Chains A and B, each alone.
Chain A
Amino acid sequence: MARVHKPVDEHYSEAAAGSRLALGRLLTLVERGGPEADQLSELAHQDTGRAHVVGITGAPGAGKSTLTGQLVHRYVDAGRRPAVLAVDPSSPLTGGAILGDRIRMYDVSEVETGQGAPAPDDMSADRRPFIRSMATRGHSGGLALAVPLAVRLFDAVGYDPVIIETVGVGQVEVDVVGAADTAVVVATPGMGDAVQANKAGLLEVADIFVVNKADRPGANDVRRDLELMLDLSHMTGLDTMERGDADYRPPIVMSSALDGTGAENVIAAIDDHLVYLGQSDRLRRRREHRVRTEVRARLKQALDRRVDDLLATDEGRAMVAKAEQADLSPTEVATALLDILFE
C-alpha cells in the first residue's frame, strides 16, 4: 500500500506482535528510504542480533529461488520461522521490474506449519515464512541501504533465519551477500569452466558452494573445478586475505533443487558454518564488518545528498560552469567544491 496511515512506531509494535500486514508496510518504508526508514532503523536496532543471516547468490537461472524454496520448507518443518528477501534488478530505462522469484517458491509463504492456524490474539505463534521481493530501483546506494535495514527488521520482529537472495551481478549485490553471516554461492553445470569460475568475484565471498542441477551431466566437472579453485586460493593465500583463517575450506554440496535432493545437506552445511563462526570471535567480527558496511553506505548516501544540494546552489553552479567553460579543470573545481562542503 502506498500510504501508511499510522506512525512508524505503531506499525513496528504491530509487526513485532506478529502482524504480517504491518511488516509488509514497514518494508515499503525501508525500500523508500527517508525519515520513516531512519526512525525504523533506530526502533529495530535494539532487537537485532538473534537471526542467522544467510546470503544466497549465483548466476541467473542457477536455481537460487528454487533452492531457497526448498530450504524454507525444511526450516518451517524444523520449527523455525524463516524470512526471505528476494532481490531482482529494475530496468535501468523505465525503473520497472518483474519480480519472479516468488513463482519458484509459490507455495511456501502459506506452508502448513502443522500447528493449525494461530488464534487471532496470538499472532506470535504464527510460524509462516515471510517472502518479500525487492527491486534494485536503479539508484546504486539504495540497495546497499535497504537490504541491511530490511534484514535487521526481519531479525527484530522474530524471523530466523533471514535469507537474502540476489543475482550475483554487480558489486552491491555481491557486497550484501558477502555481509551475511553465511554466504552460499550456487553454481550449475554448463555455465563455463574453471576459468569462468575464477573470473567471478563471487568465489571470494563464498562460505558454502552448492552445485545445483547435480542430476545433469557435468555436475562432477563443476565440483572438480571448484575444488581446484579452492586449492589455488589456499596456495595463493587468498583464503587468508578474505577471512583471516586459512583453516576454513568452503564445503561443496551437490543439490537438485527441483525435487529437493541435497537440500538437507545444504541446511546442514549452513548450520555447520554458524557453529564454525561461533567457535571463536569470527561471528562477532563478521557482524562488526556488516555494521561497518552499513554505516559506510549510510554515510555515502548522506554525502551524496549534500553534494547534490551544493551543486544545485548558485555558488555550486557557478563553479561547475568554470569547468564547463574550461577556465578550470574538473579536478580544480571539485577540490574547490570540497572545501566549500567541509568549511
Chain B
Amino acid sequence: MSESDAPIRVVLAKLGLDGHDRGLKIVARILRDAGMEVIYLGLRQTTDSIVAAAEQEDADAVGLSMHNAGHMTLAPAMVGALRAAKLTCPVIVGGIVPDDDVEALLDAGVAAVLGPGASASEVAQVVRDAVAAAEASDDATVGGSKVET
C-alpha cells in the first residue's frame, strides 16, 4: 500500500477536569467520516495518558477539546509532553478559545485552533494540513537520508 492510502490516525481527548465532551464526539464522527482512524480517549485524560496513547497508537495527530478556560496552561503542556517523548505529531485545539489567545497558542507549538462554527470539511482539512506540515518538517529534519515507507 502506498503511503497516501494509509488513513490518518488521530488521538482525540479531553485534558484535565472538563466534562463537555459532546463537541469531541462530533469531531470524532466528522474525522471518521472523512476517512480517518480516530482513537477516542474521551474525558479526564492527563498529558501522560495522551502521550502513552499517541506512542502506542503511532498517532499522526492529537486533537484536544477544551471548554474550561485551561487551554493556555494545558495545551502548551501537552505539546511539551509529546516533544519530551520524541513524538512529533501536531496538536490541534478545538473548543472555546478567545481570539486573543490563538496567537499565543500557535507560538507555543499548537498546530491549529478550531473554534465554534468550523464546518465538518474545515475540521478535516485542518487535520490533514497539520499532519502534512508535520511530515514535511520531519523530512526536513532528517534531510536526505530519509527512508520513506
Interface residues on chain B, size class: 35 or more
- Also in contact, A2 and B49, with CB within 8 A (given A21-B85, A32-B1, A99-B37): no
Interface residues of A in 295-331 (CB under 8 A from B): none
Minimum CB–CB distance for A95 against chain B, Å: 5
CA distance in complex: A107, B52 (Å): 10
- Whether A2 contacts B8 in the complex (CB less than 8 A), given A103-B42, A110-B49, A110-B52, comes out as yes
Across the A-B interface, how many residue pairs have beta carbons closer than 8 Å?
A: 119
Q: Are B7 and A98 in contact (CB under 8 A)?
A: no
Instruction: Tell me, in angstroms, the Cα distance from A101 to B119 when the chains sit together.
Output: 27
Docked CA distance A53–B144 (Å): 41
A103:B41 contact, CB within 8 angstroms: yes
* Among B6, B57, B89, B147, contact of A132 (Cβ-Cβ < 8 Å): B57
Q: Let me know if A273 is at the binding interface, CB within 8 A.
A: no
Contacts of A91 in B (CB 8 A): 32-33
Chain B residues within 8 Å of A133, by CB: 37, 39, 57
A25 near B56 with CB under 8 A, answer: no
Which range contains the number of A residues in contact with the other chain? 35 or more
Say yes or no: A1 contacts B60, CB within 8 Å: yes
CB distance from B43 to the nearest CB of A (A): 9
User: Which of A3-11, A173-181, A259-267, A285-293 lies at the interface with chain B?
Assistant: A3-11
A23 to B, closest residue via Cβ:
B56
- Asked if B6 and A96 make an inter-chain contact with CB atoms under 8 angstroms apart, the answer reads no
Q: How far is the CB of A214 from chain B (nearest CB, A)?
A: 26
Stretch at the interface among B68-76, B98-106, B135-143: B135-143
Please give the distance in Å from B1's CB to the nearest CB on chain A.
Answer: 5
Once bound together, how far apart are the Cα atoms of A242 and B6, in whole Å?
Answer: 37
Check if A228 is an interface residue, CB within 8 A of chain B. no
Q: Are B38 and A97 closer than 8 Å at their CB atoms?
A: yes
- Which A21-39 residues sit within 8 Å CB-CB of chain B? 21, 23-25, 27-29, 31-34, 36
**Chain B nearest CB, measured from A8 CB (Å):** 9
- What separation, in Å, do the CA atoms of A110 and B47 have in the docked complex? 11
B35 touches A20 (CB 8 A): no
Contact across chains for B8 and A24 when beta carbons are under 8 A apart = no
A129 closest partner in B (C-beta):
B56
Judge whether A27 and B58 touch: CB under 8 Å. Answer: yes
Does B28 have its Cβ within 8 Å of any Cβ on chain A? Answer: yes
- B positions within 8 Å CB-CB of A: 1, 3, 6-8, 28-29, 31-42, 45, 48-49, 52-53, 55-60, 85-89, 131, 135, 138-139, 142, 145-149
Further contacts, 11 of them, CB under 8 A, given A3-B3, A5-B146, A110-B52: A1-B89, A3-B135, A3-B138, A7-B147, A91-B32, A96-B7, A98-B29, A102-B39, A103-B40, A106-B41, A110-B49
What are 16 A-B pairs with beta-carbon distances under 8 A?
Answer: A3-B139, A4-B148, A5-B146, A20-B56, A25-B58, A27-B58, A29-B149, A91-B32, A96-B38, A103-B41, A106-B45, A106-B49, A128-B52, A132-B56, A133-B37, A133-B57
